[in-house]
Amino acid sequence: MSDIQEKQKQTILKLLTEKSVMKQDVFTNTIGVFTLLKEVAKERMDELSVDASKIDRRITVNYKDVSPQSMQIKVAGDILDFYMHSNVFEFDHAHPMFKTGYIKNNELNSFCGIINVYNFLADSYKYNRLNDLGYLIARIFVNREKKFFIETKTQIGYKFMNFSEAPLTKEMLTEIMNELIIFAVQFDLFTPPYDSVKQVSVSEMQEKQNSASLRTGKRLGYGSGTVNLNEEDVNL
């Protein structure tokens, strides 16, 4: 083996030792957090289901384990869809995280697994309305040290907007879960502007009789346009 090949081999082994092992640690931590999040979700749904039935038996609250990396919770007319991505991501170096001492001390801490949380209307699943929109309301980032932060429109985002000082715990996840539920229930469906739906053709009306073709979203109403979730949408 030539000197160049030996150096290349050592570089590969160094990358495997540092970066690949780190990514395995991140994935292990993230799947561990997601498993704990499932436990929290089931406990919260079991408790809320009992309490909700005392308020009104028409209010349904339940938990659904979809896969090792996916779950859903239904709270009345809302569904929160949790999805853990299987890959590990690094932040762009322009991200504010790279200005923190925690990342400056070791850039490997910037690599994270991601748990996405989407809010859908329960009827979108019930009536198989495949064109309906869901909204990303939170992203939970977990790194190799099991420390985390959240990008979200909910109130709890201000508390966990930077990497936590301690690893993520069940108590923290319970607090996060409660805030996500509160946000989803308060985030209401808007009616579309009258002028956008005042005319309809026969063919469009026939299509709308098939619920699967009726596109709906919380900030879309019953129109057909696209709406982004912005600050005005969530200023509840």
Cα–Cα distance, 73 to 44 (Å, whole number): 10
Predicted local distance difference test score (pLDDT) of residue 155: 84
Confidence category of residue 231, pLDDT binned at 50, 70, 90:
very low
Candidate from 31-35, 90-94, 143-147 with smallest mean pLDDT: 90-94
Report yes or no on 88 lying in a domain: yes
Rounded mean pLDDT, 153-168: 90
Report yes or no on 173 lying in a domain: yes
Q: Model-level pTM?
A: 0.81
Confidence check: pLDDT of 104 > 70 = yes
Predicted local distance difference test score (pLDDT) of residue 224: 33
Confidence check: pLDDT of 228 > 70 = no
Other C-beta atoms within 10 Å of 37: how many?
Answer: 22
Predicted local distance difference test score (pLDDT) of residue 8: 83
Cβ neighbourhood burial of 3 (10 Å; 0-12, 13-18, 19+) = exposed
Report yes or no on 200 lying in a domain: no
**Among the listed residues 78, 117, 64, the one whose alpha carbon sits nearest the alpha carbon of residue 217:** 78
Confidence check: pLDDT of 168 > 70 = yes
Confidence category of residue 97, pLDDT binned at 50, 70, 90:
confident
Report yes or no: 163 and 109 within 8 Å, Cβ to Cβ: yes
Report yes or no on 206 lying in a domain: no
Report yes or no on 194 lying in a domain: no
Confidence check: pLDDT of 19 > 70 = yes
Report yes or no on 210 lying in a domain: no
Range of the domain at 156: 3-188
In the chain, the percentage of residues whose pLDDT exceeds 90 is: 56
Better-scored residue on pLDDT, 91 or 143: 143
Report yes or no on 234 lying in a domain: no
Cα–Cα distance, 213 to 13 (Å, whole number): 53
Between the two ends of the chain, the Cα-to-Cα distance in Å is 66
Q: Which residues contact 157 (CB under 8 A, 6 or more apart)?
A: 138, 150, 151
Domain count, the chain: 1
Report yes or no on 28 lying in a domain: yes
Q: H or E segment at 50?
A: helix 21-55
Predicted local distance difference test score (pLDDT) of residue 143: 96
